[in-house]
Structure 1
Amino acid sequence: MTVAVLGAGAFGTALAVTLAQNGPVTLWARDAAHVAEMQASRRNDRRLPMAELPENVSVTAEIEAATQAPVLLLAMPMQQMGGFLTAHAARLAGKTLVACSKGIDLTTGRGPTGLIAAACPDATAAILTGPSFAADIARGLPTALTLACTEDCEALQARLSTPTLRLYRSTDPLGAELGGALKNVIAIAAGVVIGAGLGDSARAALMTRGFAEMSRLALRLGARAETLAGLSGFGDLVLTCTSAQSRNFRFGQALGAGEEFDPTTTVEGVATAKAVSVLAQKRGVEMPIATMVAALSEHRITVSDAAQALLSRPLKEE
């Protein structure tokens, strides 16, 4: 079962590096100049400079060549995935498409597997998600992720697992993708707490109440509670709310401290917070933390006002 990774960001590159232990991998990037650099240096100096590309990782800018593999890992920013799927739907038909992005599409309100199903109904849609940093995967540090698909995916699980990358199967792709998307919003809020100097106790409280928000919306949309309590939900929440390796956490930290953040860095939680606020309102789900993150990200409210608004909410049972 040959594999191609579409998207040569840090995470896509890390997946190509580790999956090369199981056989040849194609790594696709849309930028031909970037591909030429990687082919010459055997590294992705733009996104993951610490990792050397194994010999059996071929790098290409030709989408026709990359999509010959039956299994395609879509490792591109969430807000670009819908356009990519629509543009290349014909050549993706019948493939196994594994989303490796976390978020909710602003235009449609769909998650990754929803976008795949809409654009490529003949493809098999799956999602690979959970607590993971690209650098850890590329270094071969132990990592466990969720592979979720509505169909049997034992063969896919075996192909995408390595001695240091352990995958657990799930038949709840909706829950898996919602956990991965929603935790980014809470990670921004956790960063704000630390950046504003509100302390670790406040962060722990925010993570706990944030998980309650995640669960409320996910269950309303049809996800399973055990999925949210697993790697793709609670596990990923813990990682991204407690480590500066998380871009969402770092963005929130800068926001809380009143500092500028690199505008070229993709922060999926910003778009997700906006999409979630709209979705929660439509579904009648109370999500005060996500709503505050959306307002903070758009500079419609100050950090102190956001904290006061959350702390002054009516007292209630847990």
Structure 2
Amino acid sequence: MNAKRQLHLTVLGSGSWGSVLADVLAKNGHAVTIYGRNPQEIAEINEHHTNTHYIANLHMDESIAATTDLRQAVTGAAAIFFVIPTQAIRSVAEKVGAILNEEGNRPFLISAAKGLEEGSLDRISQVLSQSIPAAVRGDIVILSGPSHAEDVAKRDITTLTAASANDDAAAWVQWIVMNDFMRIYTSPDVVGVELGGAIKNVIAIGAGAIHGLGYGDNTKAALMTRGLAEMARLGVAFGADPLTFSGLSGLGDLIVTCTSTNSRNWRCGNRLGQGEPLQHILDTMGMVVEGVPTAKAAHDLSSQAQVDMPICEAIYEVLYRQRPLQDSIDALMGRIAKPEIDF
């Protein structure tokens, strides 16, 4: 990265992905501030350049400044990355909007979170556009794809999609993030990229659950393939390009989230399959399991749009109606026969 083009970038969220993304941006030559609410974590980042609760063996770039002061974090930023739990984004974004209204720096807003807001059923780009007026911000870009923080921290080759209604904004994010181990592609399909990133977390809970129950690779392949069909079906109903779901934010993210123990959604499902109560799993996970609230949002959204999503519905019933896992699997296998390609 050309040091003459150094930018001031802000990452909101000091969890695993926020910490790793901040490190990538700093190593790309940018001046990075990371914001978090936990004073102990922020002090550790500033003093030791680590965040051991979330991401072991990561030595963060020593130029990164960490703070618990939201105003300090966003003032003067060229771009603000939202890397916080989906259900917290609206409240934080409203505070950011108030600060930007006073500061006037109009940064790009980049979502690197994946989920749907409960209640409103809004995608994150919708939450951001509603919470931060267009007059005080730049364009909104979604950064999504198969990107476990643990692998990025090791500089494993990673590919992501930057999606925006503005092609230039997506290309700008591509430019600031891409390096020799991270390759970024652009897309105009914001709806498809966001829904793919959200719904794959629900399917990953199912993938973990069938592993916990002792099912094998055939079952995993069936779940992932039919889960992908559900993602595409929902996306098309809301105007997404079906080809998006064959890309990084659809199939790519589905593969990594449904097959890796690094996935907290997979781990949640695996523990469910082994008989642990959901609330105990959530209380002891140590991180937010985005697929759990997204399962309810997906249930409500598919019901509203009258889109058939039997796998997602089965996972919702397990999580929210305490339906036994095996009963849900038996019900799925007993559904009426149908063509494979059926939108």
How would you bin the TM-score normalised by the shorter chain?
Answer: over 0.9
From 6, 10, 14, give the equivalent of 2:12: 6
Q: Give the aligned partner of residue 288 of structure 1.
A: 310
Return 210-219 or 161-170, whichever deviates more.
161-170
Unaligned runs of 5+ in 1: none
How far apart are the structure 2 equivalents of 1:242 and 1:31? Answer: 31
Equivalent residue, structure 1, for 2:88: 80
Measure how far apart 1:220 and its partner are.
0.2
- Aligned residues: percent identity? 37
Q: Do the aligned residues in 1 keep the contact of 2:10 with 2:35 (CA within 8 Å)?
A: yes
- 1:138 partnered with 2:144: no
The 2-side partners of 1:22 and 1:40 are apart by 21
State the secondary structure of the residue aligned to 1:43. coil
Gaps of 5+ in 2: 1-6
Q: Given that residues 18 and 140 in structure 1 are in contact (C-alpha distance below 8 angstroms), is that contact kept between their aligned partners in structure 2?
A: no
**Deviations along 1:7-57, whole A, 9 cap, x unmatched?**
000000000111112222111112223211222221112211310111221
RMSD: 1.3
CA distance in 2, matches of 1:77, 1:92: 21
- The equivalent of 1:103 in structure 2 is 115
1:50 is paired with a residue whose SS is coil
2:234 aligned residue = 217
1:276 and 2:284 matched:
no
Aligned with residue 193 of structure 1, among 194, 210, 213 = 210
Instruction: State the distance in 2 between where 1:45 and 1:104 align.
Output: 28
The number of aligned residues is: 318
Alpha-carbon contact 1:19-1:162 (below 8 Å) kept:
no
- Give runs of ≥4 in structure 1 deviating > 4 Å: none
3-state DSSP of counterpart to 2:27:
coil
Query: Which of 259, 279, 304 is the equivalent residue of 1:242?
Result: 259
Give the Cα–Cα distance (whole angstroms) in 2 for the partners of residues 103 and 79 of structure 1.
8
SS at match of 2:57: strand
Mapped to 2, the partners of 1:47 and 1:201 lie a distance apart of 33
With 110-119 and 19-28 compared, the bigger mean Cα shift is at 19-28
Deviation at 1:111, TM superposition (A): 0.9
Q: How does 1:45-194 map to 2 (within 5 A)?
A: 45-68=52-75, 69-92=77-100, 94-122=106-134, 123=137, 124-151=139-166, 152-153=168-169, 154-194=171-211
Report the secondary structure of 2:322's partner residue: coil
- Normalised by the length of structure 1, the TM-score is 0.97
Summarize deviations over 1:75-108 as a string: whole Å, max 9, x none: 1011111111123212245221100110000021
Structure 1 CA distance, aligned partners of 2:123 and 2:239?
A: 13
Contact in 2 for aligned 1:25/1:58 (Cα 8 Å)? yes
- For residues 46 and 242 of structure 1, the distance between their equivalents in structure 2, rounded to whole angstroms, comes to 23
In the alignment, residue 324 of structure 2 is paired with which amino acid? T
- Output the TM-score relative to the length of structure 2: 0.90
The aligned amino acid for 2:158 is T
Q: Residue type of the partner of 1:291?
A: E
Offset at residue 190 of structure 1 (A): 0.9
SS in 1 for 2:222: helix
Distance in 2, matches of 1:56 and 1:215, equals 41
**Is 1:27 matched up with 2:34?**
yes
The alpha carbon displacement at 1:240 in A equals 0.7
1:196 shift after superposition:
0.7
Q: 1:107 to 1:95 in 2, by over 3 A?
A: farther
Task: Judge which range, 101-110 or 116-125, deviates more.
Answer: 116-125
Distance apart, 1:163 and its partner CA: 1.5
Shift of 1:262: 4.8
Shift in Å, 1:299: 4.7
Equivalent position SS for 1:195: helix
| One-letter amino acid matched to 2:94 | T
CA contact 1:187–1:252 (8 Å) conserved in 2? yes
